[in-house]
Amino acid sequence: MATQLKPDDALDLDIVAPEEAAAFRRDGFVMPKRGLSPDVTAEMVAAMEEVFEANPDWHNLVRMPHVPRREGQLEGVIGGEKLFRIAIHPQIIAAARALIGPNLIMWGGEIFAKPPGVGKATPWHQDCYTPAVKAGPGHEYPRSVMIWIAVDHVDVDNGCLRFVPGSGRYGRIEHIRKAQSNNLLDFSVSDKRVAFDTAVDAILPPGHFSAHDTLVVHGANANTSGRRRAGLTFHYMDAADIYDRSFGAALGTGTVGKPAPIAQRPIWLVLGENQNVLNDFVTGHQGLEDLDALAEANRVRLNAILNRHP
C-alpha cells in the first residue's frame, strides 16, 4: 500500500494548526480544516470497503479493526492489516502529536458504521468511563485523544457526532445506566450543568476527522437517512500515562453482545519513547509480529523526522 512512508521531504505533517490544537485544549474537541491527503483517503476508503465485505456481520460497532483476525486474537477483523497501516500513518500520528504530545501509545480503535435508516443513536457520554486508561504521575486525568475519521460523507441526517464545548471542565460526570433500547450504549450523562443546547455538529467529508479528549461530552443521533454513516477511529494516549490491564473486561459496550477484553488487548508505542514502566507491550501480541515490526520501524523513522519538525 502507498501508506508506506514517503521520502522525508514529501511528508505532510502540518495537518493540525496551532490554533486548532489550542481549540482542542479549550473545548475538548476540534475538527481540523485539513484532512488526510487524497491518496491516503482513497486507500482508507478502499480498505474499509474490503473490511465491510469480508466481515458482513457488523452492526453499528466493530472493535479493534486495526487488528487482523488471527489465531490467538480475541478481537479484530479480516483485513485488519490494511487498517493498521492507516492507524500508524504519519499524518495521523502527527495530528495526535500536535494534540497530546510527542510520546504516543495507540491503544484502541473502532468502526462506527450506522446502517442506512436503522443506525442507532449514541447517547450523551464521556469516554473516560474506559477503565484501562489511567493518568500517570502528576496528572488527574489521562491525556488521550480519539481521532474519528469519516469514511462516508457525515452530516446531521446520517447521525454525525455532536460535541458540547467545554463540557470537560466538570471532570468525570455521573453516567446513568439504562435498559438497552434503540441506542448504541446503555448509559448516558446525567448533569444539569452540561449545556446540551450548545452542541456542535461534526460534519465531515471522507478523509476529514474530528478529535476529542476523554472528558468532553459527546453523542450522535440515529441515522434516519438512506445513507450509511461510517467512521474509523483510533485512540492515542500519552506514554507517561498507564494502560492498566487489571480491570479485565469492560462492561456496557452496547450492541456487540459481549464485554470488551481490554486486559488482553495489544497496544503499540507509535511515537517517541515509553514514559511509564507499567505499560505492557507484550500481552495480546500473539501472531502480530509483522505488525510489531512495522510499527517499530515507523516509530523510529518518525522520531527522527518529527524531532526536526517544528
What secondary structure, in 3-state letters, does 52-76 show? HHHCCCCEEEEECCCCECCCCCCCC
Mean pLDDT, to the nearest integer, of 192-214? 94
Task: Evaluate whether residue 152 is within a structural domain.
Answer: yes
pLDDT of residue 126: 85
Under 8 Å between Cβ of 198 and 165: yes
At residue 298, does pLDDT exceed 90?
A: yes
Can you read off the three cell numbers belonging to residue 265? 488487548
pLDDT-derived band at 10 (thresholds 50, 70, 90) equals very low
* CATH value at residue 268: 2.60.120.620
Q: What is the pLDDT of residues 251-294, one digit of tens each?
A: 544 444 567 888 999 999 999 999 999 999 999 999 999 999 99
Residue 19's domain spans which residues? 8-307
Task: Evaluate whether residue 273 is within a structural domain.
Answer: yes
Task: Evaluate whether residue 113 is within a structural domain.
Answer: yes
pTM: 0.91
pLDDT of residue 80: 97
Task: Evaluate whether residue 3 is within a structural domain.
Answer: no
DSSP state of 291: H
Task: Evaluate whether residue 1 is within a structural domain.
Answer: no
Looking at the structure of the chain, the number of domains it has is 1
Task: Evaluate whether residue 2 is within a structural domain.
Answer: no
Task: Evaluate whether residue 217 is within a structural domain.
Answer: yes
Closest C-alpha to 235, from 262, 273, 253: 262
pLDDT-derived band at 1 (thresholds 50, 70, 90) equals very low
Closest C-alpha to 162, from 28, 281, 57: 28
Closest C-alpha to 249, from 109, 145, 130: 130
The mean of the pLDDT values for the chain is 88
Q: What is the pLDDT of residues 239-250, one digit of tens each?
A: 999 999 987 766
pLDDT of residue 175: 60
Mean pLDDT, to the nearest integer, of 168-182? 69
